[in-house]
Chains A and B, each alone.
Chain A
Amino acid sequence: MPTEIIIPIPTPTVVVPSGMAINPILDFSPFLGLPIHLFITVFFVLVFLGVIIYWVVRLGKLASVRGWIESAKKMTPDDVQVWIITRVQRLFIECMTIKDNVLSSHDPLNIAMWYISSPMGVIRVGGQTAVVVSEDFDRNRDFITEIALCENLDYFNDNQEWLIKEAEKKYQDRLAELKTDDERAAVVKPKIIKPIEGFLSYDDHGKVCLQTINPDGLKIPPYNIFNPNRFRRYFPKGNSGVLFGGELTLNARDWNVDKKEKSFWEVHAFLMMAMAIGLISIVAAWFVPF
């Protein structure tokens, strides 16, 4: 009977160098020969990158109103936040200089300027005040005024016959109430009512007509969706912000016509001194002995 020979097989032992740690689960390498802890690390890196990408994308959506924050940060007493509505109805927020109620850009090449005629048109969003302007009108815009005028001018234009009869009737009733000719002569006959088609007719007779019909002010509904195109036809033709700024620039030039032109030395004195000091410094630095 053959004898069994038992050869002891040495079991492999993992020798962990001193100063290192091996974890039976986290150092298990079931996939691509890479330990599990490496995959977990990659997961945490992705989480970190995910947080950054999420916020960058989210804040990127607010890029067009970044001017709102930037203007708030660098606001000085001469600065004002301006919401600009372009001719193609895009909205931008910028920080501009205000002097004597005139808004002008910080960029000297941008000559557009606007006059703040209505302090009641100043808007307040998030604790910051701002003025709304548009490229095709040289004054600041007041949504509530524009809504009021649109509502009432449309009503006025659509109800001409009725308004003429009504005004005439009121006039005749008033005359009938009075007893003497002197009193009757003092009563003002209502203005001739005809449609208000634009700025010229509003200036000519429209404002007076509206004031006669609504002496206490214009009424608007409590809830309004502002339609900027509705009021455009009442803007004075050609009075854009750029034209206004250009005219002011020319006027400012006229003020200087009589002034004596500055001499070469008045203009260049500081530059010459600076050049001399700079040159002396360089020469001194080159030749100073140690």
Chain B
Amino acid sequence: MNGLFNIKDPAIGLPLYFWGWIILLIFSALAYAFFHFGKWKAYGPMQGLYYAFKDGSNAAFIFDSSLIGEFVAERIAKCIFDYSKWNYELDGISGWFKKYVFYYPTAFLDDISPLHALVYKFGKVNKDVGIARKLEGGDWERFPSVVCGGVPVDIVVDTDNWTIRTSAQHKAIEREALEWNKLNPDDQVHSYSKFQRYLLQGKIICPEVKKDHAVSWTRVNAGFTTDMEATEYTGKIIQMSEHQYNESQMAMNKLGWGVLLGGVGFAVLILVFRLITHFVH
């Protein structure tokens, strides 16, 4: 290229390729910022779908009793414990290995090869659902309500803030489940479903959490009406009839605007063309 990139800029004498690097770096940073803040952040509560896809698990919508919801990965909706926070005793292995190389699911799951473990470690793939399922002996409550973007999605209704990690109820559940697991290593509890089952059976006692939630008859009757009066939606019918009555006229008016704008636009083009040819001559 005949040293095209070696040309110095007249200002501070740096070669062009150097400026090219700076421009590419700035463009990379701008593209990152654009996608992160302009696009990704906008998805806010829907980002759980991506994390579920990455973890190879289900996703879940968690709703409270007022049906205020959030889209999260399955582990948030179902697992009591966050296994990444557990302390793992590794004989003869120094702290840096534990911090940067050790992938904690390998302590529970034996079907992860060392290479996969490294890839998952750096890809931040979370296997907590697999761990919890294994520790519970393979039983796992899973009947995805819907499929969203190829990911099965559970709809979880949590009326007592069990799934909020900072809530007092969650902390109490974590404490009681840990206690139960110490005493019953062959029948461990790692999911909210199993915890609730044992709570209702009276096997686990946890005074901080509620055992039921009352749904009023007002809500039930509105949510599942057995009859519907025609007067409730007559307004919609009148609106539709008005639309139907005026539909052909509205379509012609729309067409009229198209013809008007097209005609005037074509006339302007003719005028411009004539002006150009007139003055060129």
Contact = CB atoms under 8 A, between A and B. Distances in A.
A51 B149 contact: no
Listed residue (B24, B150, B163, B232) with the most chain A CB atoms within 10 angstroms of its CB = B24
B274 A285 contact: yes
Contacts, number: 339
A248 B215 contact: no
A3 to B, nearest CB: 45
Q: How large is the interface on A (under 10, 10 to 19, 20 to 34, 35 or more residues)?
A: 35 or more
A61 B107 CA distance: 30
A223 B220 contact: no
Given A91-B147, A219-B213, 9 more contacts: A37-B18, A118-B222, A217-B215, A221-B213, A222-B213, A248-B240, A253-B244, A270-B256, A278-B267
A22 interface: yes
B228 A222 contact: no
A228 B66 CA distance: 19
A37 B46 contact: no
Interface of B: 3, 5-8, 13-15, 17-18, 20-21, 24-25, 27-28, 31-32, 35-36, 39-40, 42-47, 49-50, 53, 61, 63, 65-71, 141, 143-150, 153-160, 162-163, 192-193, 196, 200, 209-217, 219-220, 222-226, 228, 232-241, 243-245, 248-249, 252-253, 255-257, 259-260, 262-264, 266-268, 270-271, 274-275, 278
Contacts of B35: 51-52, 55, 58-59
A288 B217 contact: no
B239 A221 contact: no
Contact of A47 (B24, B192, B217, B223): B24
Interface in A39-92: 40-41, 44-45, 47-48, 51-52, 55, 58-59, 61-65, 68-69, 85, 89-91
Interface of A: 17, 19-23, 26-27, 37-38, 40-41, 44-45, 47-48, 51-52, 55, 58-59, 61-65, 68-69, 85, 89-91, 99-102, 104, 113, 115, 117-126, 139, 141-149, 199, 202-203, 207, 211, 216-229, 234, 248-249, 251-253, 255-256, 259, 262, 266-268, 270-271, 273-275, 277-279, 281-282, 284-286, 288, 290
* The 8 nearest A-B residue pairs measured at CB: A278-B263, A145-B223, A100-B235, A64-B149, A142-B223, A252-B240, A55-B35, A281-B267
Listed residue (B155, B220, B222, B262) with the most chain A CB atoms within 10 angstroms of its CB = B220
Listed residue (A48, A207, A227, A266) with the most chain B CB atoms within 10 angstroms of its CB = A48
Nearest to A139: B225
22 contacts: A21-B6, A52-B31, A59-B39, A64-B49, A85-B146, A91-B148, A100-B239, A115-B232, A117-B223, A118-B219, A123-B69, A124-B68, A218-B217, A220-B213, A222-B160, A222-B212, A223-B192, A225-B193, A267-B248, A271-B252, A275-B259, A281-B266
Given A69-B42, A221-B212, A274-B259, A248 B237 contact: yes
